[in-house]
Amino acid sequence: MAIEKMSLVSITGDMEELDDALQKCCDSGFFHIEPAFSGGEGRGHLLNEKNEYEAILKRLSQFVTYVGLTPVETDHSSLSAKSPDELSAMCDELENELAALKDKKQEDDQRISELSAAQIQIEHLKGMNSDFQQLFSCKYVSVRIGRLPIDNYSKLEYYNENFFFVPFETSENFCWEMYFCPESEKELIDDLFRSMYFERIMLPRYVSGNADEALARINDELKELKASSAETDKKISDFRNSREKELQVLFSKVRFLSDSFELRRNVGAINGRIGNRAFMIKGFIPKKREDKFSELFKQLETTTVTYMPADADASCTPPTMLKNNFLTRPFTMMVEMYGLPEYDGINPTAFVALTYTLLFGIMFGDLGQGLVLFLGSILLNKKLGAKAAGMVRRVGLSSMVFGTLYGSFFGYEELLDPVFENLGIDFLPLKVFRQTNFILITAVGIGIALIVISMLLNIYAGFKKKDYEKAIFGCNGICGLIFYSSVIVGVVGSIMFDMKIMSTPFVICLIVIPLICIFCRVPFAAAVKYKKLQLSEDGEKMTIGNFIVENFFEMFEFVLSYVSNTMSFLRVGGFVLSHAGMMLVVMTLMDGASAVAQPIVLVIGNLFVMAMEGMIVAIQIIRLEFYEMFSRFYDGGGKPFEPISLKFSAQVEQ
């Protein structure tokens, strides 16, 4: 239950060694970088250089995409070129080689696009049998072809102008038509049609003959062009195959150089001791890796590494790296889901691991189903991911243990009875439906224990941070713990064991006084911390009336939360019953089925219960963890420890 101790590292050296230093940081695999300077510091400034590799990378990415190559990470140590100019020249060379083919392809595609557009337009004029060339060459008559919004079509007959129109085809929104007008009046008529949003279709000059003939001609030409385009594609593909290795090496190199350059954004530029330009890199590493880290930089002449305590620089917060053992590690995903603890906080992973495993086993206890979960997680380790599979493995084992205690094996509740009889254990297996009260009371008991542990953790965390309100006077502090435990002891003792505990001194000392302390937690905490009484946390003015009203409602909420959180654990018992109930339904269905169908019903029933109830139980426990437990002691405002690395990616933002 610990958080890895960090060291603040400051790396300085001559600017010439910056790339090598960054490379070493990446190679270490455990360097978390921070901006070397935050705003307002006068010692230096962050490097803000233009990444010249970025443009080359974009060009190269477009090029490889054009030739149909998917970049994959390739060893680029054989390529000596490093400067942007050299790499840019290599790109030029490649582009020049392909330029002729690219132009040819572009030309063909453009022509195909033009012809396809003309083809669509002429399709709408299919009813027209006159020769286009003849129509357009009329001396005294102007002809226009195009489409008119259908809504305006009915207007045409109301115009007293000198034109006539021939519709060819109508769609939902447009009418394709042709209109004729005297050459001398064409400007007026064109204006008129334009005002009705007539969209004129400019047919290419090569379109001749009637619509059918023109279409046939266009189709022939399109066919030829497509064949030519396919041939160009093949040549491009041959180019790609012959130069694939060269392209992959070049892309990997440029990607690497560009990404390395991006890391410079957090690097600071300072003046060296002899007036030279120097760099400064700031970050965190785990304290135990200091020696190993220093070892990496030994080869660099001017670069020095300095270690400081993690909290030495107020401008950067140390990141949190959870330290967990083999058993608890998979449960870090639960903690990360809620939010990592602060660097000086507590690591709740072990607590989560223990409680999650325990509660899952109780709520989903079945030896057979637990075994399926266990084996399934081993088989699907890769698909689920190591953490999720690890969690399933552990909860599967827990389910098997509690399944054995319940004597349940794939819904057969009597199968294990002879085993316990032979062993001479008469109180096992637990018969769920015969011991309902015991199960429910135990569930609440577990809840009380977990809430008390959560409060103890909160007290520990509060003292660790010197937050006395949280540790002593808060509803989850010492006062809250005394109040909660006393009420539980009082109620349980009086009702279940008929003990007369609730005496006046007991009530006053263990219930009323803690309640008063919780009510006045802010002024009491201020008195301890600042040696003065103040009603509000931040020292703002607050009237006594406001203080009483505000705290009354907060107290009401605290007390209510004690009750509701405790009762919330009844669901643990509830799921024990519901699991047994669902399996009873499966068994009843199986009994009613034919001999052939019985195994099928058993398998499907078990799978259904495992999928549905397994999912619900998993979610319900997360709820219990986060609401009933985490909310009492855990804040989760930490920053994740993210070591820098150069990961290859084929994607390039254009």
Partner 1 sequence: MRATLECYSTNATVAKIRAMHGRMFTADNYRELMTKKSVPECAEYLSRTERYRSAFKDTDPNTIHRGYLEELLNKANFDDYIRVCEFQGLDSIPYYRFLISRREIQCILLMINNINSELENSYLNSLPGYMIRRSKVKLLELSRAETFDELVKILKGTPYYKPLSKIKADPDGKVDYTACELALRKDDFEKLIKYAEDVFIGSEERELKEIIYYEIDSTNIINAYRMKKYFGYSAEKIKNSIINISGRPKGRIQKYYELDTPEQMLDWIENSKFGKCDRDTDVIETRIMQARYRWLSHVLAGTTSAPVALYAFVRLCYIEEKNLVHIIEAIRYGADTSVLEKDMLIF
Cis (ω within 30 of 0) for the bond into 429? yes
Q: How far is the CB of 115 from partner 1 (least distance, A)?
A: 17
Tell me the longest C-alpha to C-alpha distance in the chain.
Answer: 120
| Sole window of 145-153, 353-361, 371-379, 605-613 interacting with partner 1 (rule: CB under 8 A) | 145-153
Q: Tell me the two tokens of residue 225.
A: 């062009």
Counting contacts by CB under 8 A, is residue 246 touching partner 1? Answer: no
Touching partner 1, residues 520-539 (CB under 8 A): none
Counting contacts by CB under 8 A, is residue 174 touching partner 1? Answer: yes
Which residue type does 274 have?
Answer: I
- CA gap 323, 331 in Å, rounded: 12
The Cβ of residue 168 has, within 10 Å, a number of other Cβ atoms equal to 17
Return the number of the residue (2 or 150) whose C-beta is nearest partner 1.
150
Q: Tell me the two tokens of residue 172.
A: 């939902």
Q: How far is the CB of 164 from partner 1 (least distance, A)?
A: 17
Report in angstroms the alpha-carbon separations of 76 from 250, 252, 263, 649: 7, 6, 20, 15
Q: How far is the CB of 144 from partner 1 (least distance, A)?
A: 14
Return the number of the residue (154 or 543) whose C-beta is nearest partner 1.
154
| Sole window of 153-161, 208-216, 392-400, 439-447 interacting with partner 1 (rule: CB under 8 A) | 153-161
DSSP secondary structure letters along 64-130:
HHHHT--------TT----SHHHHHHHHHHHHHHHHHHHHHHHHHHHHHHHHHHHHHHHHTTTT--S
- CA gap 147, 200 in Å, rounded: 7
Q: How far is the CB of 258 from partner 1 (least distance, A)?
A: 28
| Cβ contact 370:399 at 8 Å | yes
Q: How far is the CB of 169 from partner 1 (least distance, A)?
A: 13
Identify the helix (H) or strand (E) that includes residue 583.
helix 570-592
The Cβ of residue 617 has, within 10 Å, a number of other Cβ atoms equal to 22
Q: How far is the CB of 594 from partner 1 (least distance, A)?
A: 49
Number of residues that bind partner 1 (CB under 8 A): 20
Counting contacts by CB under 8 A, is residue 149 touching partner 1? Answer: yes
Counting contacts by CB under 8 A, is residue 181 touching partner 1? Answer: no
| Cβ contact 170:127 at 8 Å | no
- CA gap 430, 106 in Å, rounded: 78
Distant-in-sequence contacts of 139-144, Cβ < 8 A, 24+ apart = 139/183, 140/182, 140/183, 141/180, 141/181, 141/182, 141/183, 142/180, 142/181, 142/182, 142/183, 142/186, 142/189, 143/178, 143/179, 143/180, 144/178, 144/179, 144/181, 144/190, 144/193, 144/198, 144/200
Return the number of the residue (176 or 575) whose C-beta is nearest partner 1.
176
Helices 544-568 and 570-592 pack at an angle, to 10 degrees, of 30
Report in angstroms the alpha-carbon separations of 121 from 190, 208, 218, 476, 630: 20, 14, 12, 77, 68
Give the Cα-Cα-Cα angle 246, 249, 250 (nearest 5 degrees): 85
Return the number of the residue (192 or 461) whose C-beta is nearest partner 1.
192
Q: Name every residue whose Cβ is closer than 8 Å to that of residue 590 and which is 6 or more positions away in sequence.
A: 598, 601, 602, 605
- CA gap 345, 341 in Å, rounded: 6
Touching partner 1, residues 184-243 (CB under 8 A): 192, 194-197, 199
How far, in whole angstroms, is CA 347 from its chain's centroid?
A: 22
Q: How far is the CB of 130 from partner 1 (least distance, A)?
A: 24
| Sole window of 166-174, 270-278, 480-488, 566-574 interacting with partner 1 (rule: CB under 8 A) | 166-174
Q: How far is the CB of 58 from partner 1 (least distance, A)?
A: 22
Counting contacts by CB under 8 A, is residue 159 touching partner 1? Answer: yes
Q: How far is the CB of 202 from partner 1 (least distance, A)?
A: 10
Counting contacts by CB under 8 A, is residue 158 touching partner 1? Answer: yes
Q: How far is the CB of 218 from partner 1 (least distance, A)?
A: 19
Q: How far is the CB of 176 from partner 1 (least distance, A)?
A: 12
**Helix and strand totals (H; E) in the chain:** 23, 12
Return the number of the residue (175 or 535) whose C-beta is nearest partner 1.
175
Which residue type does 420 have?
Answer: F
Return the number of the residue (173 or 654) whose C-beta is nearest partner 1.
173
Return the number of the residue (146 or 403) whose C-beta is nearest partner 1.
146
Q: How far is the CB of 180 from partner 1 (least distance, A)?
A: 19
- CA gap 169, 176 in Å, rounded: 5
| Sole window of 148-156, 178-186, 494-502, 646-654 interacting with partner 1 (rule: CB under 8 A) | 148-156
Counting contacts by CB under 8 A, is residue 245 touching partner 1? Answer: no
Return the number of the residue (117 or 312) whose C-beta is nearest partner 1.
117
| Sole window of 170-178, 227-235, 403-411, 537-545 interacting with partner 1 (rule: CB under 8 A) | 170-178
Return the number of the residue (80 or 173) whose C-beta is nearest partner 1.
173
Site string for partner 1, 300-339 (x = CB under 8 A): ----------------------------------------
- Which of 172, 291, 426, 498 touches partner 1 by CB under 8 A? 172
Q: How far is the CB of 341 from partner 1 (least distance, A)?
A: 37
Counting contacts by CB under 8 A, is residue 152 touching partner 1? Answer: yes
Q: Which residue has the tokens 């400064």?
A: 280
Return the number of the residue (201 or 270) whose C-beta is nearest partner 1.
201
Return the number of the residue (158 or 427) whose C-beta is nearest partner 1.
158
Identify the helix (H) or strand (E) that includes residue 323.
strand 322-323
- Which of 70, 78, 137, 173 touches partner 1 by CB under 8 A? 173
Counting contacts by CB under 8 A, is residue 164 touching partner 1? Answer: no
Q: How far is the CB of 197 from partner 1 (least distance, A)?
A: 4
Q: What does the binding site for partner 1 look like in residue numbers (CB under 8 A)? A: 149-155, 158-159, 161, 171-174, 192, 194-197, 199
